[in-house]
Structure 1
Amino acid sequence: MLDTAAPSPGPAERRARALLSPWVRLGLLVSLVGGAVVAVLLLHPERLLTGGWPDRLSGGAAALVLFAGAYGLCTAAFVPRPVLSLAAGALFGAPLGTTAAVVGTVLGSALSFGLGRLLGQDALRPLVRGRWLTAADRQLSLHGFRSMMALRLFPGLPFAGVNYCAAVSRMGWAPFLLATALGSAPNTAAYVIAGSRAASPTSPVFLGAAGFLAVTGLAAVFVAWRRRGRRGGRTPGDAQPSGE
């Protein structure tokens, strides 16, 4: 009889499989993100966006494109978006600054989501266990758009962290990016407007933008407090019967 068994992989194929294994890719993701965070802490690229922007790049389409790209890279490296949005307003004014900031937000989210999906999903999905993790994964996977909209409208959450966590779910690209653009636009615009009027902090426009940010922040705290109170108020008798 003929031997129909598949040939064993050679050394080169085994090395290729090892390099493409989920845990190796996860290690690469951790290294990339960790290196980017360290670079941000050491180099402070946000200073370039806020105070070191070359005069010859203070206007025009090329400046907006360059700023949006830098905004996206900094966002993926966990630079706080409010700092970047304030810089957009100070450099370009409210209309153009909002455009650059929202485009940069979407670019940075796409970069984070893509890296997380490509390098981290296969290794991390088997670890999604427990009541809260599985519920969050199910919500993001089945109701991606509205779930991401709620997360984007809820201030105070680490923006890049949400991107990388969402990548572990089965959420599609289209609902993720659309919800990111729509959900992050209001707060982003408010920060940009505040940055554009930073020289006159007593102006009605600046006070209106600051008031909007304060109201949304207080609303987020209230919602979080209500949810925590509901969870804390449950008693063992409220649990569903186990059926045993």
Structure 2
Amino acid sequence: MLDATDRSGGTATAALPAAATELVVPLPPPRAGFATRWTRALVSPYARLSLLLALLAGGAGCVLLCEPQQLLAQGWPPQLGGVAAAPVFALAYGLCTLSFVPRPLLNLAAGALFGAATGLAAALAGTVVGAGMAFGLGRLLGQDALRPLLRGRWLTAADTQLSRHGFRSMLVARLFPGVPFSAANYCAAVSRMGWLSFLLATGLGSIPNTAAYAVAGARASAPTSPAFLIATACIALPALAGTLVAWWGRHRLRGR
């Protein structure tokens, strides 16, 4: 009963539990707004990876239209001459490597335009600039989407090697002529390699091959000169050695 008579003769109402008197209805969680959902979608890993692929495709299309190989035939534009010519070339070199322009072509152009010494410096600076831009883009736009896909044995082993022994691994990759420049950049970006190790290994490991091409470009007008012949040998012998090593490794894997 709800009513009870107290000792003084009055009528008192028994107190009910709070759960019986108050009905608590859980509220649904607030729904994200339209702008919030779109923001999350745009910054998601796969959206950033799509942006990276679009940028690379756009860069490759620009290369097809601009035809940078004409530098070897037409020379450097006269309006970009003077002291700023080599830095401008280094920046253009870096942008071209982002768009998958072959580095040997750019190295030959550096030697032909600026001579062996200045061409080597400009080409090395462009190599480091291009590698750094590719590494930054890959790390910012591609790492979060691609790292969960590293499940295969070879991919996991490569990621572990680059993450734990970044400088040594990248130095070998730069010295070995069979490793594509752009592929090494983006593989390093997906791994956990540090910036400093990547840039130092890129700069040091690119010296021999870049120097050979720069000298060959500078001496291209005298193909029988000792410098040109030595540079050509320094280009051909590592390429031949890399081909033999790749063939031996593939043959060994097939035999297992």
TM-score (ref. length: structure 1): 0.89
Matches of 1:100 and 1:4, distance apart in 2: 64
Cα distance change on mapping 1:50 and 1:127 into 2, 3 Å: farther
Q: Which residue of 2 aligns with 1:37?
A: 60
Cα distance change on mapping 1:197 and 1:59 into 2, 3 Å: farther
Matches of 1:33 and 1:23, distance apart in 2: 15
Matches of 2:245 and 2:134, distance apart in 1: 27
Letter in 2 for 1:218: L
Q: CA deviation at 1:15?
A: 1.3
Match of 2:134 among 112, 119, 126: 112
**Aligned pairs for 1:19-168 within 5 A:** 19-48=42-71, 51-60=74-83, 62-168=84-190
Match of 1:202 among 224, 231, 251: 224
Q: CA deviation at 1:215?
A: 1.1
**Cα deviations across residues 140-170 of structure 1 (Å, max 9, x unaligned)?**
1111111111111111332112212221111
Q: CA deviation at 1:59?
A: 4.2
**SS in structure 2 opposite 1:201?**
coil
Moved more, 22-31 or 158-167: 158-167
Q: Does the aligned pair in 2 maintain the 1:58–1:91 contact within 8 Å?
A: no
Matches of 1:140 and 1:109, distance apart in 2: 16
**SS in structure 2 opposite 1:79?**
coil
Matches of 1:56 and 1:34, distance apart in 2: 29
Cα distance change on mapping 1:83 and 1:160 into 2, 3 Å: same
Instruction: Name the larger-Rg structure.
Output: 2
Gaps of 5+ in 1: 235-244
Percent identity for Structure 1 against Structure 2: 62
Runs of 4+ in 1 over 4 A off after TM superposition: 3-7
Letter in 1 for 2:65: L
- Of structures 1 and 2, the one scoring higher in RCO (CA 8 A, sep 6+) is 1
Moved more, 150-159 or 44-53: 44-53
Q: Does the aligned pair in 2 maintain the 1:109–1:177 contact within 8 Å?
A: yes
Gaps of 5+ in 2: 1-23
Moved more, 67-76 or 44-53: 44-53
Matches of 2:246 and 2:89, distance apart in 1: 34
TM-score (ref. length: structure 2): 0.85
Matches of 2:81 and 2:220, distance apart in 1: 17
Q: Which residue of 2 aligns with 1:225?
A: 247
Letter in 1 for 2:44: S
